[in-house]
Amino acid sequence: MIEWWTIAHRLLGLDARDLTVWQMALRALLVYVAAVVILRLGSKRFMGKNTVFDVILGIMLGSVMSRAITGNAPLFPALGAACVLVALHYLIAAVSFRSEKFGAMVKGQECALVRDGEIQWENMRRHQIGERDLLEALRLHGKISEAKEVEVANLERNGGISVIPHKQKPRVVEVKVDGNVQIVRIKLE
């Protein structure tokens, strides 16, 4: 009677130097299922548009998992390494959530590019953001064409630029009606 481990060795090519198409396909299926399980147990956040911290996990995880599929790394140790990467990411995210200083060290910090309508040129230089890039972000945000229309524009930790426009003061229109009627003021926002 053949043991299940012997069958797994043959099917997955665990001892093979050259993998067959079927062995690599089966490894791809196994690695895909394992990746879904590992990521579901870990944090969802690294798949969104987030920080360098999250992107690094994506790159490393892809590299480790691809090696498990192609046989450039042993299958089960590579899956173990993937588990460790996701667990480490989860741990660092948890510590970052509890410690603002640690979070800023790992994920970075937002930086004001515009404050009260004034461009913060030193911050722009430090982060190598040109005026045209800033104006593009303002236009994309909400048809804002000049920095003076902005209360705050920040370079966020994920590399995006967030914009809070100045609140527009309501316009008051006075309507005078003929006769003995008082002036009516209408506030337009």
**Confidence at residue 48, expressed as pLDDT on a 0 to 100 scale:** 55
**Confidence at residue 159, expressed as pLDDT on a 0 to 100 scale:** 82
Q: Is the pLDDT of residue 47 over 60?
A: no
Please check whether residue 79 is in contact with residue 34, taking contact to mean a CB–CB distance below 8 angstroms: yes
**Confidence at residue 80, expressed as pLDDT on a 0 to 100 scale:** 92
Does the pTM of the predicted model rise above 0.75? no
What the chain holds in terms of domains, given with CATH numbers, is 4-104 (no CATH), 110-189 (3.30.240.20)
| Integer Cα distance of 106 and 24 in angstroms | 37
Identify which of 120, 186, 124 has the alpha carbon closest to the alpha carbon of residue 150.
120
pLDDT digits (tens, 9 = 90+) for 96-107: 889 999 988 887
Helices (H) then strands (E): counts for the chain: 7, 6
pLDDT digits (tens, 9 = 90+) for 158-175: 788 999 988 777 777 777
For residue 102, CA distances in Å to 6, 66, 84, 98, 106 come to 47, 31, 20, 8, 6
**Confidence at residue 63, expressed as pLDDT on a 0 to 100 scale:** 93
| Over residues 129-157, mean pLDDT | 89
Q: Is the pLDDT of residue 2 over 70?
A: no
Identify which of 117, 127, 128, 108 has the alpha carbon closest to the alpha carbon of residue 164.
117
When the pLDDT of each residue in the chain is averaged and rounded to a whole number, the result is: 82
Residues of the chain with pLDDT > 90, as a percent, come to 23
| Over residues 5-13, mean pLDDT | 72
**Confidence at residue 141, expressed as pLDDT on a 0 to 100 scale:** 84
| Integer Cα distance of 158 and 106 in angstroms | 12
**Confidence at residue 18, expressed as pLDDT on a 0 to 100 scale:** 79
